[in-house]
Chain A
């Protein structure tokens, strides 16, 4: 070979000669294209698995150290690209905490609404992909239709289908266009109707149950030891959810339950996600009911751009506009760790700033990376065919895992 292989696995030397060592490799539809599982098989059962990630490492930290605070926002979209808005809001809250800015009530409720709305899209994508990998093509197509309506709807609000960059430090890019909330209600009813069909197709489907019930089981201690959070941890029975434990944004005013599984296997992870979609739909409706009026962005000259009319007429607005665009926001020195409940688990941003216009260090605590760390314990002892549903139920998103 003219170039050395990118990874070295301990399995090629320590596997016993009778077993087969195969790559469930980086370019595999079931591993979402970026995870390599080197598995030692004895016949059909996986004896030992060695999970490699890093095939989608795009240098997020190095890039964010060389961009100003506003220019980092598009990079945060590409972390968990199934729910880009959640990453935006965590990053924005980290910077706002350092700046000591409290966002306007309308922005607070709108961010919560969009967080839950994007959680619906993320869970739908995860369940659709993992069910399609098990052969449920119809469920995949139903869910892709629902998700596509959500994409078009968010495109109407933010201008992009997938990578929104809708947040600004201290507020949002723009307010809701008229007719957006009416269309939102239509999509929610549409989603509920389609998700009933998915429940009908999958919940008591003999094949689905045989392939996912009691497969990749784990206890709560095992999950905590391996650092799992989010639906993967809740499927083992522990109701640990940041929206209840450390409520942020407008979650204290919303009433919702935290769905919890029984014995932490693939079926429970699927069911916890579907129940969370129902909870999110009801939360979005509550947010729409209590959406207050008022501005979306806080009018603090350090962060928010003045309106265009004032920029063309007054010299101060022009100067603040120019300074904000050219030099970016000056964030006082300090460090902060902000964690929200992203669809996959606890997404934490550790931001260190040295007072200049660029973040000194921005580390992302990504749930998918930790799930990949512990996933080999869920693969060993089960069959090769169970690697696909187990991996699908962990919902590993490449951008968030490798950053």
Chain B
């Protein structure tokens, strides 16, 4: 099974691991994210980059959890990486050089949560528009605060 191989081989790169409904979860620090992901891709065949998103825990000290999902076609298994990131410096290495689908996903996570992806030069807003202030999916952003572009009629 690929999960035991991953746990054994990549021992030093992650801190904690547990099982979530049949899917291996690795919790790791932001520094060794790039190393872990490149080894996962090359040695264990996790070639499909599924998803990157973030979770906002306003009360917790490392406020954000950047969550990655990968899928390995050869072993038919999924894996989830969780990277706790502090609020003042929410920086994570960008995976643009490893996966093409990371471009759009990282742009979305950047504009929705304010996660900085170092190494991704093109972090323009993708779901929102130029001139949108703030990160709407954070828990402290009020739901109905609209920032209209077009001036309303009288």
Contacts and interface: CB of A to CB of B under 8 A. Distances in A.
B129 A7 contact: yes
Nearest to A66: B143
Contacts of B112: 61
Contacts of B130: 4-8
A337 B127 contact: no
B67 A350 contact: yes
Contacts of A2: 151
B84 to A, nearest CB: 14
A333 to B, nearest CB: 12
A223 to B, nearest CB: 10
Given A59-B136, A337-B80, A225 B20 contact: no
Contact of B69 (A8, A61, A348): A348
A128 to B, nearest CB: 27
Interface string B114-131: 000000001011111111
A54 B128 contact: yes
27 contacts: A6-B129, A6-B149, A8-B130, A52-B126, A54-B125, A54-B129, A57-B127, A61-B137, A62-B136, A97-B21, A224-B47, A226-B100, A227-B48, A227-B50, A245-B76, A334-B20, A336-B21, A337-B20, A361-B55, A363-B53, A363-B67, A370-B105, A372-B104, A373-B101, A373-B105, A377-B100, A402-B127
Contacts of A365: 50-51, 69
Interface in B120-154: 122, 124-131, 136-137, 143, 149-151
What 8 A-B pairs come out closest when comparing CB atoms?
Answer: A227-B101, A373-B104, A6-B129, A54-B127, A57-B127, A226-B100, A365-B51, A363-B53
Interface of B: 20-21, 23, 47-51, 53, 55-56, 67, 69, 71, 73, 76, 78, 80, 99-101, 103-105, 108, 112, 122, 124-131, 136-137, 143, 149-151
Contacts of B143: 59, 62-63, 66
Contacts of A369: 104-105, 108
B104 A337 contact: no
Contact of B48 (A4, A224, A335): A224
Interface string A332-375: 00111101000000101010100000001101010001101110
Nearest to A94: B21
A53 interface: yes
Contacts of B48: 224, 227, 229
A374 B137 contact: no
A350 to B, nearest CB: 7
Interface string A1-20: 01111111010000000000
A403 interface: yes
Interface of A: 2-8, 10, 52-54, 57, 59, 61-63, 66, 97, 224-227, 229, 238, 240, 245-246, 334-337, 339, 346, 348, 350, 352, 360-361, 363, 365, 369-370, 372-374, 377, 402-403
A4 B148 CA distance: 11
B105 A8 contact: no
A2 B55 CA distance: 37
Contacts of B104: 369-370, 372-373
B130 to A, nearest CB: 5
A53 B127 contact: yes
Which of A10, A54, A245 has the most chain B CB within a 10 Å cutoff?
A: A54
A352 B55 contact: yes
Given A62-B143, A225-B99, A365-B50, A403 B127 contact: yes
Contacts of A346: 50, 71
Contacts of A226: 100-101
B121 to A, nearest CB: 10
A337 B49 CA distance: 14
Given A336-B21, A350-B67, A363-B51, A225 B100 contact: yes
Contacts of B78: 337, 339
Contacts of B151: 2-3
Contacts of A6: 129-130, 149
Given A3-B151, A5-B130, A53-B126, A336 B101 contact: no
Contact of B131 (A4, A59, A224, A350): A4
A181 B70 CA distance: 40
A213 to B, nearest CB: 25
Nearest to B129: A6
Contacts of A336: 20-21
Given A245-B76, A369-B105, A370-B104, 8 more contacts: A3-B150, A6-B149, A225-B100, A226-B100, A335-B20, A372-B104, A373-B105, A374-B100
Contacts of A52: 126
